[in-house]
Amino acid sequence: MGALLATDTIPAQLVTLDPRFECNGDERVQRLFTGGRWLEGPVYHPAGRYLLCSDIPNDRMLRWDETTGTVGVFRQPAGHTNGHTLDGQGRLVSCEQGNRRVTRTEHDGSITVLADSWRGKRLNSPNDVVVHSDGAVWFTDPPYGITSDYEGNRGVSEIGGCHVYRVTPGGDPEAVVLDAERPNGLAFSPDERRLYLADTRRKHIRVFDVTAEGGLTGGDVLAECDAGSFDGLRVDDRGMIWAAAHDGVHCYHPDGTRLGRILLPEIVSNLVFGGPKRNVLYMTASTSVYAIRLTVNGCTPPWARR
């Protein structure tokens, strides 16, 4: 698997719907890789200057090297991983749909299981994950990895519901959202006072207030999708919410107004801001990984602020 040429690009389609969008960028979008079955969970590693993502049906994680442009297999088998993030020590935290668990890859390459059950029952198939500055790991648990053998291993839901969980260092998972139907993408606001949750089945984004104890209140619908359904979420340093949808990526103001869109020719599953200045938006979309450099920057993780 080699790198695609830099000439493999498509015209950029940035659509401004509200003047508060204030986002411009490259005239063309790069296609960094194509040939996956269903790509998800991009995470940018700033120290290594590489992007990881999951090719879920092929049960592999791919690694794109920013310095060389090459793409290779990072891990296979990979437990049908889906979403990934980095913790405060730069360690990879992954949702393994096939193994029905959330894990952390240590600096020596060993794997630590962070969560695989709730109240003695196996998780469904963890999907997306974020890490709070206090070290707690928050993740969603829909059933996509157990409904068939395509994205995991066919199985039965022992819990009987699809929840959002929070697990503190060394602790057990605590369910913090019990009324979601298909919880998927997660993102904190820059000050971590809000948590945004995409529900794919209900085709909306909800917003919760985060309490000092790590609980949630509220849960009102912030935005509804008119292009398929929402999947992954990210937030920029202005607090704007970026959501993956079937026609591309939608950008929302915290008041719920859709500000703009970036259109792509494939269904977008997930996204992440990366690059040395966090102004490159990487998007996993069906079979391909796309990238565009923008005039906005992704939110700095709280643990990385000085």
> Which residues are identified as catalytic?
231
Two structure tokens written together for 256: 């719920």
Two structure tokens written together for 215: 């609980």
64 strand-pairing partners: 51, 71
| CB neighbour list of residue 123: distance below 8 Å, 6 or more residues apart | 100, 101, 102, 115, 116, 117, 141, 159, 173
Three-state secondary-structure class, residue 216: strand
Three-state secondary-structure class, residue 83: strand
Cα 96 to Cα 2: distance, rounded to the nearest angstrom: 26
| CB neighbour list of residue 98: distance below 8 Å, 6 or more residues apart | 59, 77, 79, 80, 81, 125, 145, 151, 152, 153
Peptide bond just before 77 cis, omega within 30 deg: yes
Sign of CA dihedral 105, 109, 112, 113: positive
Decide: 16 and 24 in contact? Cβ < 8 Å.
Answer: no
Q: Which helix (H) or strand (E) holds 186?
A: strand 183-188
- Nearest 5°: CA angle at 199, between 31 and 114? 80
Three-state secondary-structure class, residue 199: strand
Which of 52, 92, 42 has its CA nearest to residue 72? Answer: 52
DSSP state of 158: S
Q: Is 82 within any annotated ligand binding site?
A: no
Q: Is 96 within any annotated ligand binding site?
A: no
Q: Is 184 within any annotated ligand binding site?
A: yes
The binding site for a divalent metal cation comprises 40, 184, 231
The binding site comprises 40, 127, 151, 184, 231
The binding site for substrate comprises 127, 151
